[in-house]
Amino acid sequence: MSTDLTRKIIFSLVGALLLYAALALWSDWGKLSTALMDFPWGWLPAVIGLTLVNYVGRLVKWQWYLNLLGVPIARADSSRIFGVGMLMVMTPGKAGEFLKSYMVKNVTGTPMSVTAPAVLAERLTDGLAMLVLASIGLFAYPFATARWAAAIVFVGAVAAITIIQIRPLALPLLALGRRLPVVKRFANQLFAFYESSYLIFRPRNLLIALTIGMISWAAEGVAYYLVLVGFGAPPGLESLFLAIFIFCISTVIGALFAMPGGLGGVEGSLVFLSTSLLGLGLAPATAAALLIRFCTLWMGVGIGVVCFALWSHLLAGADPIQRKSAPAGD
């Protein structure tokens, strides 16, 4: 792994430790400890199982995108790349996830400009899927921050997809790029990037990806529901829908912070919304936020660490790539 990437991940881990220590102190360490001791830990396998449903769904989407783009890669190799890529969530803005395209290039020789749109599409369709899941509660509850966050992500994603699909607009711009002094050096890569993006975001393909995303993220929303009930939230359909709403919109808000793994934004939103909408005390709400993050974000990071330890050769020579943009990294 590159020195730069290692440094970023270490800084992210230290930042997470400090954040969680601050949260624990803020919510009263004694009450937080009591809440954790009273949690029905026999439910933990179900929470982890639902999280794994999310990971499997995202893996299926990743492999489907590569197949859609005609990348000649075995499922075992794409699964290994996906696993190593889970560690990259700890880079600022998840930018390190574009190294998945570099790993695909190492395995198959496929240019990064061809597969980088698949990484971008993963993020966009995940965001859209979470907004669809959260839509039930977005306008039912008066939280302006959540509405603005949802609106920014939704408008940005729709605008990007719409522009990509208007070929009479995109193709002349790409042709113009071939004549510009600096841009023309990357014209072929940009064209390949556009063609892959155009294919991935066709309406049928977008609908399939959104369906996979909604199933995947709904599973983690249900996992959060179990955690909340374990910490004292009332069981029932209303709490289930609220839990999915809180989890999804908090994840979207965290993504807008562009911090590694959404640190700070996700945890803060989970605590605020669960106390406001479900009436949880500060300590149980904080405990629920920490537990679901350990079962989702940090379990994924752990899987990424194991995968990297087993298949670090996939990132061989990645140092220069860290200093380039993904489409230009061929």
pLDDT in tens, 231-248: 999 999 889 988 999 999
Confidence of residue 323 (pLDDT cuts 50, 70, 90): very low
User: Residues 193, 117: contact at Cβ < 8 Å?
Assistant: yes
Q: Which positions ≥6 away from 37 have C-beta within 8 Å?
A: none
Max mean pLDDT among 10-14, 166-170, 198-202 falls in 198-202
Q: Summarize the confidence of residues 304-312 as an average pLDDT.
A: 91
pLDDT at residue 327, rounded to an integer: 39
Q: pTM value?
A: 0.83
**Where do the domains of the chain lie?**
3-323
What share of the chain in percent tops pLDDT 90?
45
pLDDT at residue 8, rounded to an integer: 67
| Three-state SS letters, the chain | CCHHHHHHHHHHHHHHHHHHHHHHHHCCHHHHHHHHHHCCHHHHHHHHHHHHHHHHHHHHHHHHHHHHCCCCCCHHHHHHHHHHHHHHHHCHHHHHHHHHHHHHHHHHCCCHHHHHHHHHHHHHHHHHHHHHHHHHHHCCCCCHHHHHHHHHHHHHHHHHHHHHHCHHHHHHHHHHHCCCCCHHHHHHHHHHHHHHHHHHCCHHHHHHHHHHHHHHHHHHHHHHHHHHHHCCCCCCHHHHHHHHHHHHHHHHHHHHHCCHHHCCHHHHHHHHHHHHHHCCCHHHHHHHHHHHHHHCHHHHHHHHHHHHHHCHHHHCCCCHHHHCCCCCCC
pLDDT at residue 255, rounded to an integer: 80
Burial class of residue 314, CB neighbours in 10 A (0-12, 13-18, 19+): buried
Confidence of residue 274 (pLDDT cuts 50, 70, 90): very high
Mean pLDDT for all residues in the chain: 84
pLDDT at residue 185, rounded to an integer: 65
